[in-house]
Amino acid sequence: MAYMNFVPVTGTIINMTGGMDCCSQLMSLRVEDGVINFMVGPETLVIDGRRLMPGMTVTAFYDSTLPVLLIYPPQYQAQIVAVHGRNEQVALNFFDRNLLAADGSLQLNVVGRTVIETSNGQAFNCHPDNRTLLVYYSATTRSIPPQTTPGRIVVLC
């Protein structure tokens, strides 16, 4: 899967309703500019398999290469949904051997307490370099690139 085409949208879930079939749901997110809808189906990777509920802050990633309905509010097919903790941010990117994001937006400083796992929750026992990572973090430095010590890394194998 080409994660480089994934676009993040962060917001608060305001509604979960039945989708076009019994296996999908429509998730409405309140974002800075209004509301954006996401279809969450069987192919959507919901990190930790969490049940999505109104009030949760999430980042939904959609594939910018897929066709989109021309409706308002916008509606996308969610590829990945990550639930945030308090004051937590999420980044999805390819990180090189120095754990620098491909777009130079973030430098990771992995420490012993950083949880590193696969998308199905299993321990990842290798170094996470040269891989696509979903990174959970709270604070960054004001340097260029910003640096962070992530609390958790999900390796997208």
State the chain's maximal CA–CA distance in angstroms.
48
**Over its length of 157 residues, how does the chain's per-residue pLDDT go in tens digits?**
678 899 999 999 999 998 778 899 999 999 999 999 999 999 999 999 999 999 999 999 999 999 988 899 999 999 999 999 999 999 999 999 999 999 999 999 999 999 999 999 999 999 999 999 999 999 999 999 999 999 999 999 8
Residue at 114: amino acid letter: T
Cα–Cα distance measured from residue 106 to residue 135, given in angstroms and rounded to the nearest whole number: 10
The structure's pTM equals 0.93
